[in-house]
Amino acid sequence: MIRQLTVLGSTGSIGQSTLDVVRRHPQKYRVFALSAARSVEQMLQDIVEFSPVYAVMAESQAAAELLGRLPSGCATEVLTGADALAMIASHEAVDQVMAAIVGAAGLLPTLAAAESGKRVLLANKESLVMAGPLFMQAVRQGGAELLPIDSEHNAIFQSLPQHYDGDFARCGISRILLTASGGPFRGRRLAQLQDVTPAQAVAHPNWSMGQKISVDSATLMNKGLELIEACFLFNCQPDQIQVVVHPQSVIHSMVQYTDGSVIAQLGQPDMRTPIAYGMAWPERIDSGVRELDLFTIATLSFERPDSSTFPCLALAGEAFRAGGTMPAVLNAANEIAVEAFLREQIPFTGIPSVIARVMKKHEVQPVTALAQILAADAWARQAAEALIQQPSDGSSENLG
């Protein structure tokens, strides 16, 4: 049976890796729909190769340009807007949805996929960070299959008992060991981070990723978001998860058991491995990733995270424990702060400063509806922008 696939965020690194897996298995998968924000050139190439039924551009101007450049006779329908994204994620013809839109923009279409009972290949961690309880409820009520694609959560999924039911004690689990590469600034002290540039921050030593997630890796916020995601995915608390800095990025995460065993998933730092695993589960298929040569690697090392130099990890744990609207506020403030850093409006050390100040201003509300999440997200973005534009002493340096 050929499975119909929608790829949300198809022109990004995860989307392109997904299409590479599809390319290797044309007898198993067909691309039903693709989406992107504004990358017309890449979208055009992918339409020519994969002939999707729909192509959705988040920006109307990009959609118009794409439509004007389609080759003669192309049957792909070009759409734009949030409703179109939700439609291609929930369409009755779709079996699987790769949720790879970066940031809060991915929440609504990913939620639509869950509500309509798809196999959701979750690479958009913000869906769980912002709206974890509501999202997991949608998965249960919609009868969806939720397969984590982040390499760490995919590794945890593979290392858990086959029929894990969300109960650590009953399954003999002691804790989850969530690995982190440490990013490009591992080992530096706070004073050494004052003048780092966006180019330095996006230069990840192991992974090829987009700018936003690369900066998150450099601040350790990516690991903070993954901590929250793991709590929702695996029904646990932050104190049941130990973050382990593992610079080689060979062990993607581990599960420690009460009998003293530690089960780990190892592999190359290539996202095609977890993508192929999620697409084919419970089977395994060729992902195009070369085999791991342990003799070449030779050494694996581990460190504790430096929470004083990289406070974003602690901020994420604080946000999860506060609950309600606070994780959405954390995520929104981080997105705005990262954008400001990439535009060189604030220093690298200003990112956690903005997040902490916005969180301090926020009055946590319990969440019963999606509208509350969206309102908290909007509030946090405005609060973060205000801090960046008008810091307390009138200069962005104060945010560092």
Average pLDDT over residues 243-257: 96
Instruction: Single out the residue in 279, 297, 315 at which a domain terminates.
Output: 297
In a shared domain, residues 269 and 330? no
In a shared domain, residues 97 and 205? no
Q: State residue 343's pLDDT score.
A: 96
Q: What is the CATH number of the domain that holds 79?
A: 3.40.50.720
Instruction: Single out the residue in 130, 148, 166 at which a domain terminates.
Output: 148
- Check: CB of residue 220 under 8 Å from CB of residue 313: yes
Measured CA to CA, the distance from residue 228 to residue 125 in angstroms comes to 9
Measured CA to CA, the distance from residue 350 to residue 36 in angstroms comes to 30
On whether residue 251 sits in a domain, the answer given is yes
In a shared domain, residues 31 and 138? yes
- Check: CB of residue 16 under 8 Å from CB of residue 52: no
DSSP 291: P
Measured CA to CA, the distance from residue 231 to residue 312 in angstroms comes to 17
In a shared domain, residues 178 and 93? no
Torsion of CA 293, 297, 300, 306, to 10 degrees: -120
In a shared domain, residues 276 and 335? no
In a shared domain, residues 12 and 140? yes
Instruction: Single out the residue in 148, 171, 192 at which a domain terminates.
Output: 148
**Could you read off the pLDDT of 278-302 as tens digits, one per residue?**
999 999 999 999 999 999 999 999 9
On whether residue 341 sits in a domain, the answer given is yes
Q: State residue 213's pLDDT score.
A: 87
In a shared domain, residues 139 and 176? no
Provide the 10 A C-beta neighbour count for residue 203.
12
Q: Which of 153, 168, 205 is nearest to 183 (CA)?
A: 205
Give the three-state DSSP class for 34: strand
Q: Which of 25, 186, 183 is nearest to 96 (CA)?
A: 25
In a shared domain, residues 180 and 122? no
In a shared domain, residues 141 and 227? no
Q: What is the CATH number of the domain that holds 345?
A: 1.10.1740.10
Measured CA to CA, the distance from residue 118 to residue 97 in angstroms comes to 7
In a shared domain, residues 245 and 162? yes
Average pLDDT over residues 77-105: 95
Structural domain boundaries, residue 254: 156-297
Provide the 10 A C-beta neighbour count for residue 212.
18
**Could you read off the pLDDT of 347-386 as tens digits, one per residue?**
999 999 999 999 999 999 999 999 999 999 999 999 999 9
On whether residue 313 sits in a domain, the answer given is no
pLDDT band at 319 (very low <50, low <70, confident <90, very high): very high
| Domains held by the chain: number | 3
